[in-house]
Structure 1
Amino acid sequence: MLFSTQAFLILFLPLVLIAFYNCVKIKILRQLVLISASLLFYGIWNWHFVPFLVLLTFVNWIIACQYGKNIQKGWLTGGVILNLAMLGFFKYANFFAENIDDLFGIHHTTWNIIMPLGISFFVFQKISYLVDLRRGNKHIYNLIDFFEFVTFFPQLISGPIVRHNEIIPQFEKNPINPQLWENISKGLCLILIGLVKKAGIAESIAMTCNPLFDQAASGQILNMTEGWVAAIAYSLQIFFDFSGYSDMAIGTALLFGLQLPYNFNAPYQSHNLQEFWRRWHMTLSRFLRDYLYIPLGGNRCGPIRQSANLITTMLLAGLWHGAGWSFVAWGGMHGIGLTINHAWKKVVPFSFPRHISWIITLLFLSFSWVLFRAENFSTASHIWQSMIGMNGFGTYNIRHNIVFYLAILLVLFCPSSQNLINNYLRPSKWIAIIGGIASAYFILLIGGRIPDAFIYFRF
């Protein structure tokens, strides 16, 4: 089920809220409501994988309990290997088999493996928990708490990647408390902002972005204007699509009195690549930092080793996004970019003015997003050639051009959603009226469209 559908907004979510608040005073009942609703939410997409989600969650809980009884780290190591094996099989089996067959000149017949929705996200949750146990965290949770942590539907499919110690302690707190109406009002505002980002901006920009990438993939030559429009359009589309999902997830959780970590903080206002990764997909960035980059040695070693750690981390980040060499290369671009960023600060005795470094960062991101979006290296190469003027200048008629230019202004100059809600929004009947009208409009708007899945569902 998609957040940006009438079925979710006017049927599923209200019914779950009614059931939840009817038994909110009894912890186990409100937890069972959320677990049941989450499994239903997941099952509406594909019921075949509900048993897999339940079984994998139960096995991870058993592993944690066994470790709690005898403190043998082999249980945790085995659990991490199991989770990685599940992720590797469903997401990468065909990719690795195809590349191995290519080495021997054998044609690979693609295996019919359907990837469970959200596996990259809920596997990372389980891995972080098991690794935390191995590092000395002694939290062994009961089965209901652990199931709610893993399956909680707002973050189940595409994050944010929530850590156990961020959300499980919140389960003890009755949502009916002095913060109730503040949580509900902020939650509704975030859901509306996310809906506007997804249905109003990302899907409108996709009508410009997708045809241009399709033309490049088919071998058609794009002129310079078309190349830049394609790159900028996808940079905007992926931000508004994924940050819109995150806003709706965080807002939905607030309706149940639960706070999820923020995932975006105006990333296109970054002045260098290091700052960008502190602002973009923040929960993934910290996962990569805490569970990969730092264990590899982080910045506690010499410059060559640190560079290797950065590049390795980003190569694996690229592979996490998709089973394809273009994703790996995209991660490599960012790894090299981060290495240069770190080296520049240590070696070069001057810094660019902030507005120049901002422009350089945006240019790098625009070129790198082309590789992320392109179906293959050939498509990316065609668009890059156009961007540097090798195919002439030309013009292009941007669809929904007002939305396109407004989106550019929003990402470059406006505060993030959470800063807007927390620091600028104040209770007002006019905000409530405008928000209600906007909500009704966008709910009607999405009812007349074929549902378009969020971009990160494929990862």
Structure 2
Amino acid sequence: MLFSTQGFLLGFLPATLILFHFCARRRTARQVVLVGASLVFYGLWDWRFVPALVGLTLVNWGLGRAWAATGQRIWPVAGLVLNLLILGFFKYANFFADSIATALGRHHAAWAIILPLGVSFFVFQKIAYHADLLRGGRPVRSVLDFLEFVTFFPQLIAGPIVRHSEIVPQFENDPHGPALWENLSRGSMLLLLGLAKKAGLADSLAQICNPLFDQAAHGAALNMAQGWLAAISYSLEIFFDFSGYSDMAIGMALLFGLRLPFNFDAPYRATSIRIFWQRWHMTLSRFLRDYLYIPLGGNRKGAARQVANLVATMMLGGLWHGAGWTFVAWGALHGAALSVNHVWTRIRTGSGVRLATPVAWGATMLFVIVGWVLFRAPDFPTAARMLHAMSGLQGVGHVKIHDAALFWIALAVALIGPSSQAAVFAMRPAPLLAVPAGVAFVLLLLLIGGRIPDAFIYFQF
């Protein structure tokens, strides 16, 4: 069930909220409601994976309790190995088998492995949990707390990637405390903004870029205008799609009295690739930093080692997004860019030379947009055709933008508009906002009711 569907917004979510707030004063009861609703939500995608999700969650909880009882590192280490093996089998078994077969000049007949929805996100949560235990973190004692931490439906499928120390202590808080109405109003506003980003912008932008990428995938030669339109519209689509999902997830969590970490902060205004990654998918960025980059040595072992660590971290981050060499190349590209950024920072600090802000921003966005082409293309030949078109070697040409007004609105919002997640928490709730917000919600419901629902882009990861 998608967040941006009438069935979810008019059926599942209101029913869950009513039942939750009916028993909100009793901690066990409200947790049972949330865990039960989350399992129903996941089961509506594919019931076959519900026992696997619950079983894996219980095993990870048990390993944490064993570590608490014995103090032996073998238990969290076993948890790390277990989760990595599960992720490797479901997501990468066919990829590595096919890569090895290709290198040997053979053909690999793909195994019938069905990828559980959201496996990358909830496995990463458990990996972070066991890594934190090895660093001295406190294990989750209650099995109900651990089930709610893992399965909480707003963040179960596509994040934000939440650490247990961030959310489990919140389970003690009374949802009907002094912040009740503020949480409901801010949560509703974020939910509305996220829905507007997804249904109003991202899905419409997909109608611009998808046909052009499809043409390139089928061998068509695009002109320069078509290439750049496809690249820029996809850059906007993925931003509004995923930041919209994050807005909806954070907003829904607030409706239940829980606060999830921010995940986006106006990334397309970044003036360096390092700042971009501090603002884009922020919970993944910190995961890669804290659980890969720093354990590899970070910047503590010299400049050459730092470059190697950055490239390795980002290549693994690219592979996490998808089992394909285009994702690995995209990650390597960003790792190289981050390395150049660090070298430039040292040069700039020593010499006092600085790039003008517009130049720094332009260079950053040019790199990000070109990188998204590699990320979006299904294979290297398609990416090469797209980049060849963008270079102008196939003619400048012209193109008529489908729904041009929406394209320019989306571009303005991405470049000028404030971060929705930060803005909603900064603004003061006002009753006068309820009427236009309600009208906008009804209009968006009518819009999504007339479309075939598009899954969020990050669901595939």
Q: Same fold (TM over 0.5)?
A: yes
Partner of 2:394: 391
Shift, 1:426, TM fit:
3.1
Partner of 1:447: 449
- Listed one character per residue, the Cα deviations across residues 101-159 of structure 1 (whole Å, up to 9, x for unaligned) are 11222211011111000000000000101111111112332100000000000000000
Shift, 1:417, TM fit:
0.5
Amino acid at match of 1:127: I
- Listed one character per residue, the Cα deviations across residues 67-120 of structure 1 (whole Å, up to 9, x for unaligned) are 111111011111101000000000000000111111222211011111000000
- Listed one character per residue, the Cα deviations across residues 353-373 of structure 1 (whole Å, up to 9, x for unaligned) are 111100000000010000000
Contact 1:224 1:392 in 2 (8 A): yes
Partner of 2:111: 111
Give, in whole Å, the separation in 1 of the partners of 2:14 and 2:358.
46
Partner of 2:373: 370
Moved over 4 A (4+): none
Partner of 1:438: 440
Partner of 2:458: 456
Partner of 2:150: 150
Amino acid at match of 1:365: V
Amino acid at match of 1:7: G
Partner of 2:384: 381
Q: How does 1:82-231 map to 2 (within 5 A)?
A: 82-231=82-231
Contact 2:65 2:139 in 1 (8 A): no
Contact 2:226 2:399 in 1 (8 A): yes
Amino acid at match of 2:116: P
Shift, 1:445, TM fit:
1.1
Task: Provide structure 2 residue ranges, at least 5 long, that are not aligned to the other structure.
Answer: none
Give, in whole Å, the separation in 1 of the partners of 2:166 and 2:418.
25
TM-score, with length taken from structure 1: 0.99
Give, in whole Å, the separation in 2 of the partners of 1:71 and 1:58.
19
1:262 corresponds to 2:265 = no
Shift, 1:421, TM fit:
1.0
Shift, 1:347, TM fit:
2.4
Higher alpha-carbon deviation: 371-380 or 131-140: 131-140
Q: Percent identity?
A: 58
Shift, 1:422, TM fit:
2.2
Amino acid at match of 2:167: I
Task: Provide structure 1 residue ranges, at least 5 long, that are not aligned to the other structure.
Answer: none
1:359 corresponds to 2:371 = no
Contact 1:68 1:140 in 2 (8 A): no
Shift, 1:41, TM fit:
0.3
What is the DSSP-based 3-state SS (H/G/I as helix, E as strand, rest coil) of the residue aligned with 2:137? coil
Task: Say what the alpha-carbon RMSD is for the aligned residues.
Answer: 0.8
1:419 corresponds to 2:400 = no
Amino acid at match of 2:450: G
Shift, 1:400, TM fit:
1.1
Q: How does 1:273-422 map to 2 (within 5 A)?
A: 273-348=273-348, 349=351, 350-422=353-425
What is the DSSP-based 3-state SS (H/G/I as helix, E as strand, rest coil) of the residue aligned with 2:141? coil
Partner of 1:242: 242
- Listed one character per residue, the Cα deviations across residues 392-433 of structure 1 (whole Å, up to 9, x for unaligned) are 00111111111101111111111100222122x333343111
Amino acid at match of 1:229: L
Give, in whole Å, the separation in 1 of the partners of 2:112 and 2:408.
42
Shift, 1:236, TM fit:
0.2
Give, in whole Å, the separation in 1 of the partners of 2:251 and 2:219.
42
Give, in whole Å, the separation in 2 of the partners of 1:141 and 1:332.
40
Partner of 2:33: 33
Amino acid at match of 1:401: A
Amino acid at match of 1:212: L
Give, in whole Å, the separation in 2 of the partners of 1:93 and 1:427.
49
What is the DSSP-based 3-state SS (H/G/I as helix, E as strand, rest coil) of the residue aligned with 1:389? coil
Amino acid at match of 1:80: L
What is the DSSP-based 3-state SS (H/G/I as helix, E as strand, rest coil) of the residue aligned with 2:301? coil
Give, in whole Å, the separation in 2 of the partners of 1:362 and 1:406.
18
Give, in whole Å, the separation in 1 of the partners of 2:235 and 2:453.
21
